[in-house]
Amino acid sequence: MRLSHFYLPTQKETPSDAQIASHRLMLKAGMVYQSSAGIYTWLPLGLRVLRKIENIINEEMDAAGCQEVLMPTIQSAELWQKSGRLDSYGKEMLKFKDRHDRELLYGPTNEELITEVFSQHIKSYRDIPKNLYQIQWKFRDEIRPRFGVMRGREFLMKDAYSFDIDYEGAKKSYWRMYQTYLKIFKRMGLTAIPVRADSGAIGGDMSHEFQILAPAGESSLYYEVAFESLDFDDPNVMDEVVRLYAAVDEKHDPQSCPVPPHQLKQSKGIEVGHIFYFGSKYSEPLGAKVMTPSGQLVNVEMGSYGIGVSRLVGAIIEANFDGEGIKWPDPVAPFQVGIVNAKTHDPKAVAFADAVYEKLKEAGVETLYDDTDERPGAKFANMDLIGLPWQVIVGAKAVEKGIIEIKRRSDGTRQELDLTSFINQLAA
C-alpha cells in the first residue's frame, strides 16, 4: 500500500481527553475515530489489526472443533423475558421499539438467542457436543465508557457457547476453551493470567477471567510469580496453570492465601477474556432439551466463552509501546514492513524505493510504502508512531551500493542488508 493512497489520518497533537497510552496512540496513529461516547469508527489501519486478531481467534477456535455462526445484533426482548434477564440485566441494555411497538434490544450478549437457535434443531445426544461461536458487535450502555476501545459501549466480542449432554461433558468443553484461550493470547504475544472469577450477569458456578498484566488495567490482581516463567507452548502447561494461585484484589485474603507472600506479585490487569459454566441456567427456561442414550429428556448443559476482540487492540498496545509510539508484535501488525524513502527528491532513490516496494509485494510481504514528500524526520516519526515491526530505509547507500537500512521497531536495532537477504530473513 502506498501511503499517498492510504487513508491514515495521523495527528501530531496528543488528544487531551485520552487518559491512557493505548487510547492516545490509537487516535494519534489514525486507527480509530470516536463517533460518540464509547462508539468508534475503525479506520483502515485499525481495522487491519482488528482483522488480524479475528483471524487468530478463528483459527484457534476452528482447531478446537468449534463452528462459526453469525447472529443478529438486534434481538427480540421476548426471549429475554423467558430467561428472566430482561429486567435483571439493568440499564446497560439498550432497548427500543419497532414500528409495530414490539420491544427489541441491541444484544449485550447472546446466551438466550443461541439457546433458541440450538434447541430448534438439536434433539439428541448424538448431535452433541457442539460449540458454536461468532465474532459480532455488542452494545452495553456503560455508565462510564472510557479508555477508548477498552471500555466502549459498542464493542466487538468473540462469543462461544458449548452444548453438552451432562456435567462431565460440559466440564471438558470448559477446559478445552480455557486451554484454547491460553493459545490464542500467546499467539498475539501476550501472557494472559487466568483468574477464578464471579459469574455476574451471565450466571453459573464456574468462571475464569483472562487478565493481561498492564499498568493501565482496570482490575487489580495478585498472582504467583511462577506464571511469568510458564512455557505456554508446552501442551502439559495446563496442569501447572490451573495449580498456580491468582486472584483479584477483592478476593485475595492474605490470611488464607495458600502461597507465601514472597512468591506473589501484584499488578493491574486488563480482562481480555471471560469464560463461564452455567449448566441449565438458560436451557431450562428456554426449553432446550436433548434425549440421552437411555431415552431420557434432559436440559442441555451449557457454558459461554467471551473474548474482547476490540478491547484486545488496546490491550496489545498497552503491552507494547514506548515514547515514540506503538510496537506491534508481528502476528497482529497492520503491515509487516514500512518503507521510508529518505531521499524523495532523488529520482534514483525513488526508482530504488519503488522497486523495493514491488519486490516485497511480490514476496507476499504486507508493506506500507511512505512515498510522500514529507521531510525524512517526519516520516521516521510517523513510522515509529504506527509501529510496524520492520522499517526499510532507502537512503544514499541504496542508490550507491544497493544496500538498505533495516530497523526493528521492537528493540530499535538496525542492520544494513541487500533486499534479498532481508526478504529471506523475513521468511525465516
Site residues, ligand P5A (CB under 6 A): 109, 140, 142, 151-152, 155, 157, 159, 202, 271-274, 276, 304-306, 308, 310-311
| Closer of 92 and 322 to ligand P5A (Cβ) | 92
CB of 136: closest distance to ligand P5A in angstroms?
A: 10
Cβ-closest position to ligand P5A: 308
Minimum distance between the CB of residue 149 and ligand P5A, rounded to whole angstroms? 7
Residue closer to ligand P5A by CB (options 277, 305) is 305
CB of 202 to ligand P5A, least distance (A): 5
> Contact at 8 Å (CB) between 309 and 156?
yes
Nearest to 277 by CA among 405, 375, 172, 408: 172
Query: Measured from the CB atom, is 241 or 392 closer to ligand P5A?
Result: 241
For ligand P5A, the closer CB: 195 or 419: 195
CB of 225 to ligand P5A, least distance (A): 24
CB neighbourhood size of 206 (10 A): 17
Asked whether the beta carbons of 119 and 286 are under 8 A apart, the reply is: yes
Shortest Å distance, C-beta 328 to ligand P5A: 20
Between 75 and 367, name the residue whose CB sits nearer to ligand P5A: 75
Supply the minimum distance, in Å, between the C-beta of residue 323 and ligand P5A.
26
Joined together, the cell numbers standing for residue 289 give 432439551
Q: Closer to ligand P5A at the Cβ: 49 or 353?
A: 49
DSSP secondary structure letters along 167-226: HHHHHHHHHHHHHHHHHHHHHTT--EEEEE---TTT--SEEEEEEEE-TT-SEEEEEEGG
Nearer to ligand P5A, 35 or 420 (CB): 35
164/420 Cα distance (integer angstroms): 53
| Shortest CB 269 distance to ligand P5A, Å | 11
Contact 396, 343 (CB under 8 A): yes
Q: How near is the Cβ of 423 to ligand P5A at its closest, in Å?
A: 37
- Which is nearest to 66 in space by CA: 374, 243, 304, 382? 304
Contact indicator for 228, 284 with CB cutoff of 8 Å: no
Q: Which residues pair with 265 in a beta bridge?
A: 223
Q: How far, in Å, CA of 244 to CA of 235, rounded?
A: 16
Residue number with CB closer to ligand P5A (199 or 336): 199
The span from the CA of 2 to the CA of 202, in Å, is 46
